[in-house]
Amino acid sequence: MGLQISRNILSLLNVIGTIFVVCTGQLNVYASTCISPEHLANPGLDSSVKIIEFYEQTWDKWLSDTVNDLYKHNKNKSNLLNKVYEKANFKLIFFDHNLLPKQSVNVLLRHILKLSDLENKHFSELNDTIQELDAIKQALAGKSMPPEEAFKSNVKFCLSKSTTEKVYIGGLIDDPVVENRLKQWAYNRIDWLISLMSKISRADIQLTAMLFQYVNYINPFVLEKINIYKYTETGESLDSYLNSLHPRNHHYQILLKHLGRYKNLANVEQITIKKGPSLKMGMTGANVLDLQKRLSQEGYLPKDSITGVFDASTERAVKLFQETHFLKPDGVVGPKTKTKLNIPFSTKYEWMKLSIDRLRNCPCRILDRYVWVNIPTFTLEYHSGKKLISTHKVIVGKATGGRIRVRGTFVRRNNTLPLISEIKAIVFNPRWYVPERIRRELEKDVEKDPDYFKKGRFRALKNSLYSWGEPRIYQLPGEKNPLGKVKFIFDSPFGIFLHDTSQPKLFRHSYRAFSHGCIRVENALELAKLILTDTNPEILVKIKKYLAKRDQTYIKLPQTVPIYITYIPVFTDKKGNLLFGGDPYNWMKNGKLPEFFYIK
């Protein structure tokens, strides 16, 4: 009888303790304060959050504080991550309800490690995150079963904020020793679980930060739009999403395909081609053998063609090398070809990395229609409907001229400068308004022929003077006008524009840095027709009439066409060959190149 009363009193005290906790508001938002031994032994996300919220703070505050602690020195990153978790309703991004890493964790790390290895991209969280994941894995592997009495008595562990006890035992336990053993197990388990949740939340936040960093590397134009929780639910969905971030243009895909090969080449001993007589068809000896080995290293010549004899296959390989390095493809290995052959593989690897970065970060990748000029490879592309419509050779500015400082960077006066603008007009039979520095150069022609300006159909402007006080001049359209039949107008503080040329034979040259900074376009009239077909087709039938006139006709485009002038060291041709334009202006400093000098 006395034992039964004692048991009833003990049970009543447990109930009263539970009611007291509820009534004092210490249960937060949860209807129950008790956790079964099974859930404490093998906790899930819900029970873990319940414990965090009871003993520490609200779950959203816990996550936010962890973010702010991890990135207290990077306000932008902490703000971005807090927005991500708020948008995801404060769910964990990379861990499931059983506190296990999702398959998307392995997918993300695989992509990050590949990028880090191939391109030496730095992820500051990577090592810490891998260590956190290992610690979480070890913690989850450690089993801690509750004492047998917990199951025999069907007890519950009821949370408490008492200064003396963390839990009350819900259930009938009349042995103080057993009760203390159960409580001690529960205390240890709760401490363990809070520590585990700290590791998990840190790892989740770091993984999320690395995902955003990866996205920003590959496609910086989608960062604010990404629905992170949606893409990380499964490994397949994240893998598909990360693959979709890459640019789809043909240059990028081929560069990425060959990048690993050039990284490996950068770590091998490169065959050096010695100075001396030019090498050509029919020659033999050690120098020819070195040449063949060098061509084979980079894939221009098959290994079974290394014979020490400069034969037809060697000549073909030399010509292909010359074509892809903007040299005259004559098959003769002279000083210029030897210089290009001796460019270190490590330099080419750096060029390729820079090119891949530039292709990722060029805003042209998100446009349907644009004109794209690349200076080092002397090419112009017209894209429309997200397709490459036409390719044109171009002539760009010389690598010479006095040094001037533009936007904090020293360049040569004749360099063509990278910029972003919009073609707003096309001029048929354009006048040539002679720039000041070119006007000075024309003095030599005037000295030889005093009637030079008259014969060339030059005219003086009435209300505009050069700096030395002489009237500015322009040249009327005609065969001698260097602008040719068409000019493309776009805003530029450097006086750069696209135009035709009266000297089309110059496009036969492989290296085409001949101008004072403007860009001469091969088949410029065809480019004008393509642009007008897309923007103002009714003008097409009038072009012959405009070209027959003795003066210029200015056609304003109803829709401007974006133009990008870039400085990308490595491009590709239609056959998939890498084109090493390199660094003709010698702009590369410490592995970096100047950005756009002007953005409209």
Give yes or no: residues 43 and 99 share one domain: yes
Q: Are 124 and 153 in contact (CB under 8 A)?
A: no
180-195 pLDDT, tens digit per residue, is 889 999 999 999 999 9
Q: Which amino acid is at 580?
A: F
User: Residue 562 corresponds to which tokens in the numbers above?
Assistant: 């974006």
Q: How far is the C-alpha of 262 from the C-alpha of 323, rounded, in Å? A: 19
Mean pLDDT to the nearest integer, 222-247: 89
Identify the three-state secondary structure at position 193.
helix
Mean pLDDT to the nearest integer, 21-27: 35
Domain boundary among 341, 374, 393: 341
Identify the three-state secondary structure at position 236.
helix
Residue 537: other Cβ atoms inside 10 A: 10
Percent of the chain with pLDDT over 90: 80
Mean pLDDT to the nearest integer, 464-476: 93
Specify the range with the lowest mean pLDDT, choosing from 4-8, 414-418, 566-570: 4-8
pLDDT of 174 reads 79
pLDDT of 145 reads 85
The pTM of this model reads 0.88
Structural domain includes residue 251: no
For residue 231, with 0-12 CB atoms within 10 Å meaning exposed, 13-18 middle and 19 or more buried, which class applies? buried
Mean pLDDT of the chain: 91
Q: Which amino acid is at 364?
A: C
Q: How far is the C-alpha of 504 from the C-alpha of 488, rounded, in Å? A: 17
Q: Domain containing 33: what range?
A: 2-244
Give yes or no: residues 548 and 405 share one domain: yes
pLDDT of 19 reads 35
Give Cβ neighbours of residue 480 (< 8 Å, ≥ 6 apart): 456, 457, 502
6-14, Cβ contacts within 8 angstroms, sequence gap of 24 or more: 6/174, 7/172, 7/174, 10/172, 10/173, 10/174, 11/172, 14/158, 14/168, 14/169, 14/170, 14/171
Looking at the DSSP bridge assignments, the partners of residue 593 are none
Query: What is the per-residue DSSP string for 494-506?
Result: T---EE--S-GGG
Give yes or no: residues 152 and 87 share one domain: yes
Q: How far is the C-alpha of 100 from the C-alpha of 134, rounded, in Å? A: 12
Pairing of strands 519-521, 570-572: unpaired
Give yes or no: residues 422 and 448 share one domain: no
Q: Is 587 left (phi over 0), alpha (psi -120 to 50) or beta?
A: alpha
Structural domain includes residue 259: no
Q: How far is the C-alpha of 169 from the C-alpha of 10, rounded, in Å? A: 10
97-128 pLDDT, tens digit per residue, is 999 999 999 999 999 999 999 999 999 999 99
End-to-end CA distance of the chain: 93
Triad 375, 380, 386: Cα angle to 5°: 125
Helix pair angle (345-361, 250-265), 10° resolution: 150
Q: What is the CATH number of the domain that holds 403?
A: 2.40.440.10
Mean pLDDT to the nearest integer, 315-325: 98
Residue 227 has pLDDT above 80, yes or no: no
Mean pLDDT to the nearest integer, 571-578: 96
Percent of the chain with pLDDT over 70: 94
Give yes or no: residues 220 and 303 share one domain: no
The side-by-side arrangement of strands in the sheet containing 156-159 is 34-35, 156-159, 167-170
Specify the range with the lowest mean pLDDT, choosing from 29-43, 151-165, 310-324: 29-43
Residue 5 has pLDDT above 70, yes or no: no
Structural domain includes residue 420: yes
Structural domain includes residue 249: no
388-428 pLDDT, tens digit per residue, is 999 999 999 999 999 999 988 999 999 999 999 999 999 99
Closest alpha carbon to 521 in 565, 578, 562, 557: 565
Domain count, the chain: 4
User: Residue 38 corresponds to which tokens in the numbers above?
Assistant: 């099974």
Mean pLDDT to the nearest integer, 249-271: 96
CA 103, distance to chain mean position in Å, is 25
User: Residue 336 corresponds to which tokens in the numbers above?
Assistant: 């210029």
For residue 187, with 0-12 CB atoms within 10 Å meaning exposed, 13-18 middle and 19 or more buried, which class applies? middle
Give yes or no: residues 68 and 208 share one domain: yes
Quick one: pLDDT band at residue 224, thresholds 50, 70, 90? low
Q: What is the CATH number of the domain that holds 276?
A: 1.10.101.10
Structural domain includes residue 348: no
Kindly state the helix (H) or strand (E) to which residue 159 belongs, with its residue range.
Answer: strand 156-159
Q: What are phi and psi of 91, to 5 degrees?
A: -85, 155
Number of H helices, E strands in the chain: 21, 20
SS (H, E, C) 376-413: CCCEEEEEECCEEEEEEEEEEECCCCCEEEECCEEEEC
Q: Are 314 and 279 in contact (CB under 8 A)?
A: no
Give yes or no: residues 186 and 120 share one domain: yes
Mean pLDDT to the nearest integer, 264-268: 96
pLDDT of 392 reads 98
Domain boundary among 191, 226, 244: 244
Give yes or no: residues 426 and 538 share one domain: yes
Give yes or no: residues 365 and 494 share one domain: yes
Domain boundary among 229, 244, 259: 244
Give yes or no: residues 389 and 513 share one domain: yes
Specify the range with the lowest mean pLDDT, choosing from 30-34, 224-228, 437-441: 30-34
Give yes or no: residues 401 and 301 share one domain: no
User: Residue 303 corresponds to which tokens in the numbers above?
Assistant: 């290994």
Looking at the DSSP bridge assignments, the partners of residue 168 are 158
pLDDT of 543 reads 97
428-461 pLDDT, tens digit per residue, is 999 999 998 899 999 899 999 999 999 999 999 9
CA Rg value for the chain: 36
Structural domain includes residue 169: yes
Residue 347 has pLDDT above 60, yes or no: yes
Structural domain includes residue 250: no
Structural domain includes residue 498: yes
Mean pLDDT to the nearest integer, 209-231: 88
Give yes or no: residues 197 and 152 share one domain: yes
Residue 25 has pLDDT above 70, yes or no: no
